[in-house]
Structure formats: C-alpha cells, structure tokens
Amino acid sequence: MITATHFYNYTRCPRKVYLDFFGDAEKKLPHSEFMLSRFRIGREHEKDVAKNIKYVAPEKTAKDEEKFRQTVKFMEQGASIIFQGVLIDKDFIGRPDILIKVPGQSRLGDYHYEAIDIKVAVHAKKQYIMQIMFYSSMLQKIQEKMPEFTYLILNNKSKKLHTYDYMNQYAEALVEIKNIASGCEAEVHICSECGECPWRDVCLEKAEKEKDISLIYNLGRKSKELLIENNIDNFEKAADMDVDLLKNIKGLGEASLRRWKTQSRALIDKKTIKIGNPNLPKAKTEIYFDIEGEPDIDIEYLFGLWTEGEYIYFLAKSPEEEKKAWKGFIDFFKDKEDFKIYHYAPYEKNALKKLRKKYGCDEETYRKITNNMIDLFSVVKKTAVLPLYSYSIKDIAKHLGFEWSEKDASGGQSTIWFTRWLAEKDPALIDTILQYNKDDVLATEKVKEWLQDLE
C-alpha cells in the first residue's frame, strides 16, 4: 500500500521509501526518543485542534476497510467535518486529519470535500504539502472532483493552498514512488537527514563499503549526480580527480571541486589537512556562547555562556519568560569591554537578530555583542579539512576527544526535555537542559583551542 508517509519520506530522501518497501526490517533501528516525542506532540496537537470542532469520525477500533466504508458514508450523507477518516483507492490508503465539506458539484451532490492536515510546525514544508496533495488526489477519485484548495493547520496559523499550484510536483513524486515501489532502487545519499533516520546504520555501512561520494562533506545530490556522470563515483576517484577538467561543467564550481578533492584525501588518509590559518583575534575576555531554542513553539529558552571558568546562563522557563531571559543576556554585556564571543554556526547570530526585532534592546550593547561574535564553524572551514562526514559541533568536538555528559544528547533532544518541562515541571529536566548547554559551550571552547593550536 502507498501511504502519505511515503510522500513525506520521498520528499526527505527517496531511499527511505525504497528501504521501507524492501529493506531488512530487522536492521531498521527503532525511532529515537526525539522522534517518538515529535510523534507524541503531533498527536496531542491534533487532539487540541479537534477539541474545538464538531465532527463525525469512523470508529477508532474498526479496520481500515470498515473505516473507509464509514468515511464514504459520512461523505455521502454530507457531514460538515469528518475527523481522521480513511480514504482507500486500489493500492493507496490515506488518513487525512480532517475532511471539510465545501460547496461545488461532485458525484456526492452540490458539495464536495477538501483535506486539512494538522502539523506541529511553523512553516508549510514541502513534505506536508505532498501529503495533503496525496489526500486531495484520493478525494478526486472518490468524489469525482479535484478539491480546489487544501489546508495545513500549523502552530499558530493555518495555510490555504491552491492544489493546482502543486499538481506537477505531486505527479512527479507519484511516478517516482510508484517506480520505487516496483523495485527501482533509490540510491544512498548521506546527509543531515540521515541523523534521525532509522535506516542510518544500513545506509552508512553501504556508503562506506562503496566509498560513496555523498560521504564527502557538503556534496549535495545534484553535484553527486554530475560527478557520477563524469565517472567520479567514489571518493577514491574524487581524491584524484582532475579539477581543471571538471571545473567548467555547469553546476560544478572550481572551489567546491578543490574542497571535495581535499576532503576525499582526508577521508582516505584519515588525517586532518590544514588549508589555512584561523587568525583568531586576541581579547582580554573570551566567552563561549550557545543558544537552545525550539522553533516549533518559536522560543529561545536558554542563553548559555562559558567565560573565565564559569557557566552563566539566562533561562526562560516558559514562553512568557523569554523576554526576561533576553534582557538578562543583553544586560550582561552592558559594561563589558575587550571581549570576543565564540559560537558555532549561524544559529546564535540569527536568533539574536530575531529577538532584537521581537523585543527590542539597547542598540549600543547589541552592536557591541554582534560585532564581537566569531563563528568558529566558518573558521574551521577555512582552516582545516577533517576526516569526517559532518562538520557539526558534535562531530568535530567528539573527534577532538570531547565527551558530552549525555551520550546521545543533541539540540533536538534538548527541545524534548524543554517540551517535557513545560508539561511535567520536573526540575530534573531543567538540570539536564543546563548540563547539555554547558557541555555545548565547553565543546565550543575545545574547538577554539584546537584552532588556536593550528596557528
């Protein structure tokens, strides 16, 4: 059976669809605590939305065929809202959160239905749109009319989408998914998506065995295709590729090719290759900085700083406290002079920009802070090529010997602890969040010290 999940997964990684059909289920890892929590939060959000509407729904305990029969019956009776109905058409089965009756002739009468899906998200991502397009196309078969609109209920808003705008994308995805379902193998592509994927061990083993070029850091799917077309189909070949020969191919820039070539060499030799100087500025006070935020509820809940052997933090224990934490953070720098703030990747700078817009602040202090921020991720990239598949702070600091107190901790995991804190108010969760953030700023210090040694 093809389901909406296949469309979701196809948008993220076509191989996921392939492995879900044909992979060895015993090698599929269980969902991480992070993913299980996302699913739970999703179900709670659906319940919250449903609380405020009057609807009919098929019997919860019924089998899918029976639920489908009941859903069609509700549609034929002209029910205003059908909650968690089931749509079946040959090998397709869809479970839209809501079907809503709207005017417009169909085989049902002078009305038809449009699909609504409920998501814990701020934006209408492509994978969600493909899912509701799937429901819309199933509705077309059942009611003999393509719904003109479809909707996503997100965290604080809903999004109305014109189905005709997405018809081509949907049709392309459908063809590809049918091909995969009939046995056409989708290739491995190691990328950030793999981190939470239950097939990650299977794919990594295959990619390493084949020296797949997607293991080269920052090599996207399109570039991979172009390199393979030019017979560079593993990273041993990439390490020896003739950049001058390839650099004029549209889509392959010289700088990227040189970087991938060096990256391949680092992977083969399992050695770091120095390519520049970090040129870190001197300052009386060095500060290491990391923010924890939960984009799905639009909050930056923790500003953590490590300076002169002390961990200092500004914590918002609820969305209402975010403004206070922000103010505390800004005030900390009011009288500070001659300092540098080290952070990793652009998240911190973007978050400060967003909070300044949201709450305002002392402009002079804000400028002082942002003018003294140094993104170590940028410094790493111009200084060294590491024998790693990813340049995340976790991968780099672990490679340098740093260990997090919580073995499987991640930014995503921290958001789960925070979401649980909001619901359960268990102080132990706050301690865990703080420890994780403290480890992050210490890891940032570790990376900075390593860079300094490369001067």
Question: Which residues of this chain interact with ligand SF4, rule CB under 6 A?
Answer: 13, 15-16, 19, 188-190, 193-194, 197, 199-200, 203
Based on CB atoms, which residue is closest to ligand SF4, 36 or 423?
36
Based on CB atoms, which residue is closest to ligand SF4, 4 or 330?
4
CB of 199 to ligand SF4, least distance (A): 4
CB of 186 to ligand SF4, least distance (A): 8
Question: Residue 117 carries which side chain, given as an amino acid letter?
Answer: D
Instruction: Give the whole-angstrom CA distance, residue 135 versus residue 142.
Output: 11
CB of 370 to ligand SF4, least distance (A): 35
Contacts of 406 (CB under 8 A, 6+ apart): 413, 432, 435, 436, 439
CB of 237 to ligand SF4, least distance (A): 20
Q: What is the largest CA-CA distance in the chain?
A: 77
Cα angle vertex 176, ends 205, 192, to 5°?
A: 40
Based on CB atoms, which residue is closest to ligand SF4, 193 or 375?
193
Based on CB atoms, which residue is closest to ligand SF4, 185 or 403?
185
CB of 21 to ligand SF4, least distance (A): 12
CB of 127 to ligand SF4, least distance (A): 13
Based on CB atoms, which residue is closest to ligand SF4, 188 or 352?
188
Count of other CB atoms within 10 angstroms of residue 348: 22
CB of 17 to ligand SF4, least distance (A): 8
Q: Radius of gyration (Cα) for the chain, nearest Å? A: 25
Based on CB atoms, which residue is closest to ligand SF4, 193 or 296?
193
Based on CB atoms, which residue is closest to ligand SF4, 189 or 343?
189
CB of 171 to ligand SF4, least distance (A): 23
Provide the angle, in degrees to the nearest 10, between the axes of the packed helices 411-424 and 427-453. Answer: 160
CB of 197 to ligand SF4, least distance (A): 3
Provide the angle, in degrees to the nearest 10, between the axes of the packed helices 126-143 and 167-181. Answer: 90
Based on CB atoms, which residue is closest to ligand SF4, 160 or 221?
221
Based on CB atoms, which residue is closest to ligand SF4, 190 or 384?
190
Token pair for 403:
């260990």
